[in-house]
């Protein structure tokens, strides 16, 4: 028989995830500041870099981007405006659908990507993690995300 209190704060996965999230995002700040990015902006740029069309002829719709980064379009819109003001992205109406806004990475945004390549190894070092730790942690977190999503989706 265990003496663990199921209602103890330190036993709650929600508490551990909330604290871990705040601490990790805080640790990213010092690494992202020299790039001129906030953490949410970094996540958006990661998604855009991953799906970048270097020809610039197509962009990713705000709706697609919203789904990828798990941010609602209302939250994403001002963030994109700031990235556009910084010259990292451009926004334009989609040629295929005038109702859709397409976001593309600019030349400056591509240049920033080269500088951002230092972020992942720097963060692994700051967090004292190996690449294997990262893979295992991501697998567990994605299982939690999927399970939580399933539990609230009718």
Q: pLDDT tens digits for 92-147?
A: 887 667 778 899 999 999 999 999 999 999 999 999 999 999 999 999 999 999 99
pLDDT at 152: 86
In a domain, 2, yes or no: no
For residue 18, the enclosing domain spans 9-111+128-152
120 inside domain = no
User: Residue 91 pairs with which residues in a beta bridge?
Assistant: 103
CATH number, residue 41? 1.10.10.10
Residue 56 — very low, low, confident or very high, per pLDDT cuts 50/70/90?
low
Q: For residue 111, what pLDDT is reported? A: 97
In a domain, 148, yes or no: yes
The phi, psi pair for 8, rounded to 5°, reads: -65, 140
Q: What is the mean pLDDT of the chain?
A: 92
pLDDT at residue 99, as a whole number = 77
């Amino acid at each position: 028989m265990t003496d663990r209190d199921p209602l103890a704060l330190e036993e709650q996965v929600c508490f551990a995830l909330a604290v871990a999230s705040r601490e990790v995002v805080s640790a990213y700040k010092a690494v992202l500041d020299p790039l001129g990015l906030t953490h949410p902006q970094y996540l958006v740029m990661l998604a855009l870099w991953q799906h970048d069309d270097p020809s610039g002829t197509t962009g990713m719709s705000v709706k697609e981007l919203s789904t990828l980064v798990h941010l609602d379009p209302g939250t994403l819109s001002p963030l994109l405006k700031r990235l556009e003001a910084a010259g990292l992205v451009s926004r334009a109406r989609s040629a295929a659908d005038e109702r859709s806004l397409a976001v593309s990475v600019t030349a400056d945004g591509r240049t920033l990507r080269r500088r951002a390549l230092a972020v992942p190894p720097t963060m692994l070092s700051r967090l004292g993690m190996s690449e294997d730790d990262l893979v295992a942690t991501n697998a567990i977190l994605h299982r939690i995300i999927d399970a939580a999503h399933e539990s609230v989706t009718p």
